[in-house]
Structure 1
Amino acid sequence: MELHVQSFGTRVRTRGDIFVCYVPDLSGKGVDKTFEFAPHQVEFILLYKKGGSISADALDLAFKNNVQVLLCDEYGHPTGRFNSLEPSQSLSIQAAQFRLIGTPRSMVLVKEWMGLKFRRKMAFLERLEGRREGEKLLLIQHARNQLADYFQQLQQVPVDNVANAAAAIRGHEGAASRLYFNTLSQLLPPGYQFDGRSRRPAEDLFNALLNYGYGILYRQVETQLIAAGIHPYAGFHHGLEKKQKAMVFDILEAYRPWVDSVVFMLCSHKLATQKHIEAHKGGVYLSGPGKTLLANALREAFDKKNIEIADAVISPREAMKLEIKAIAGRLLELSKKEDLLF
């Protein structure tokens, strides 16, 4: 579980070998609350800006039990991390990560992540195909076939020249994205259709939902990367020159279709409407009710157990955690290859 220390005056302390969280009643009624958690119950402690505090004893208990302690801004985006001085696998993972930057093997990983994005897009269209007929059915089938072609072209991109490989991957991904979103637009009811992707700002309801949804996804991916010991800045495909968290954006690609499917559902069922957006500075942004609608829909979708892995059925949130841990293993594996090129 995640322990969010968000409200003003909240304190995380210890009693013996358990965490104790004191939450004051800010209404003045004096109904303070106390919660206790064993270390094995807690995976993350997130300390929000202008929120609560944590004691040295609680930090020590977290270190001893491999509980991740993160500093966050007011929106929950991690800005820092408390680290034990004891050796950890994170050091090995990040050393491997930095060794791979700019090498052909980094492009091998980028192709894997982008390939997963393509497969999830095709799987989403396949689900939509089962509910359509006539021209819309043919539209989806054509899009799926085209995406399959782009996927094959992606797999065939040579990685010996990193710059050429990156450009080719961007080209295939861009063409696939335009086809994919054009298809989704044509499947939506009148009034919900859109003219391609628009960012910063969005130009329509669908894109406003997407942009906000990707922001929520960003925080989830970043948190799981940090938990797995992967450095959020040291990416392979998105540039480091912009001082952005390039690895977050790299890994984020594989999970965008999950957000796409939720946004499509809200629009196709007409649950999202014009009352959920507001115009501002030449663009369209979600209103307060719009943000709540999308956040609740994403939470429900990410917690629904609908992904089969081995003999278990898990949620997308759990699948993301397992996949990002596996990525950490891949970083270690590929960095040890004898033919690593710099």
Structure 2
Amino acid sequence: MKLIVNSEGVYLSKVGECFCLKKDGQKQEISAKKVEQILITTSTALTTDAIELAVENNIDIVFLKKYGQPFARVWHSKMGSISTIRKKQLELEENIMGTTLIKEFLTQKMNNQIDHLNVLASNRRDERKLIIKEAVEKIKNQVNNIESIENTTKIKDIRSSIQGYEGTASRVYFKMLSELMPEKYKFNGRSKNPAKDEFNCMLNYGYGIMYSNVEMACIIAGLDPYIGIMHVDNYNRQALVFDLIEMYRVYIDKIVFKLFSTKQVKSEHFDEVEGGFYLNKSGKEILIGEYNKYMESKTKYKGRNIELQNIIQFDCHNIANRILKGAE
């Protein structure tokens, strides 16, 4: 389970082999053996004993900003694998594997978008079914554009082109999602922090949680989250996380779209701030609850029956092995 501290003023400490949460005279103890990650989303007091218990049990502690982006984490000091992997990561911009991997990441993202839209089309019997199919064809065109790029091309030479294809597909995709939303919550494209609308507000917070999971999977697999391929390296920027997350954004898209389309989202889940919206405590609770339930569901993936939350780790280990071997 993920231990989520979402109430301001919680005191998190250690009692035996359990995490103890105290607030306003109430206390709850949770065995460390049941916890895989701790997410802290608001002002919290945290003891060093609790941190030590987390480290001893390979539980990372992630601190999230109010818009959902992780700004810090506590994790043990051991790297997940040998330094050879990280050395070979530095070479990906100059060899064909870098191009091969990015093509795979982005075509997977677009095919996920296509699958999502196709499911939404199958549930409709009005003129929107045709409009969805037209959007799907436009995204397929961008998939074809990416697949047509020669693997012999270095990623640094086609970075702007491939990002253009991905951007075009995303605009088509989100425009279609907006068309399918309840009238009250239709939106005009993607917007970030602060989001200009409620849908993007919840989407951004969900992506923030996903960022932390991808970073953790990288560390465990021995990948350096700061050495990117398509995203340019920058100080204090987890460039590889930005590359990898493209394959998993659809998980958040599906969760958030379902919450809105089934009318589980209410206006009181958001606070208006200057320039947009902020997901408040009640909004975070409904999103995180649905996220945990969805990620624990199982699916058939590359010949395995696997929980969605384990797919990221499975992929990161596979990518690390490919990079280490230097083979496609």
TM-score range, shorter chain: 0.7 to 0.9
* 2:218 maps to which of 204, 225, 231: 225
Any residues of structure 2 matched to 1:181-192 within 5 Å, and which?
Answer: 181-192=174-185
Q: Secondary structure at the match of 1:120?
A: helix
Distance 1:300 1:22, change over 3 A: closer
Distance 1:33 1:95, change over 3 A: same
CA distance in 2, matches of 1:71, 1:283: 29
Report if aligned partners of 1:110, 1:236 keep a CA contact under 8 Å in 2.
yes
CA RMSD of aligned residues (A): 3.3
Distance 1:4 1:331, change over 3 A: farther
Whether 1:316 aligns to 2:319 is no
Any residues of structure 2 matched to 1:44-83 within 5 Å, and which?
Answer: 50-54=45-49, 62=56, 68=58, 70=60, 72-73=62-63, 78-79=72-73, 81-83=75-77
CA distance in 1, matches of 2:196, 2:2: 35
**Matched letter for residue 108 of structure 2:** L
How many corresponding residue pairs? Answer: 317
Deviations along 1:19-55, whole A, 9 cap, x unmatched?
Answer: x3363767668x8958474xxx88x576978523359
Distance 1:276 1:47, change over 3 A: closer
* Partner residue in 1 for 2:149: 157
* Partner residue in 1 for 2:14: 11
The TM-score normalised by the length of structure 2 is 0.83
Report if aligned partners of 2:54, 2:61 keep a CA contact under 8 Å in 1.
no
* Partner residue in 1 for 2:134: 142
Q: Secondary structure at the match of 2:324?
A: helix
* Partner residue in 1 for 2:261: 268
Q: Secondary structure at the match of 1:238?
A: coil
User: What is the CA-CA distance between 1:3 and the residue it aligns to?
Assistant: 7.9
Report if aligned partners of 2:21, 2:29 keep a CA contact under 8 Å in 1.
yes
Distance 1:139 1:24, change over 3 A: closer
CA distance in 1, matches of 2:92, 2:312: 22
Question: Which has the higher mean CA deviation after the structures are superposed, 112-121 or 286-295?
Answer: 286-295
CA distance in 2, matches of 1:9, 1:208: 28
* Partner residue in 2 for 1:238: 231
CA distance in 1, matches of 2:53, 2:280: 38
What percent identity do the matched residue pairs reach? 28
Whether 1:297 aligns to 2:297 is no
Any residues of structure 2 matched to 1:57-206 within 5 Å, and which?
Answer: 62=56, 68=58, 70=60, 72-73=62-63, 78-79=72-73, 81-84=75-78, 89-158=81-150, 160-206=153-199
> Which runs of 5 or more structure 2 residues have no equivalent in the other structure?
none
Give the number of the structure with larger relative contact order, counting CA–CA contacts within 8 Å between residues 6 or more apart: 2
The TM-score normalised by the length of structure 1 is 0.80
Report if aligned partners of 1:240, 1:246 keep a CA contact under 8 Å in 2.
yes
> Which runs of 5 or more structure 1 residues have no equivalent in the other structure?
14-19, 338-342
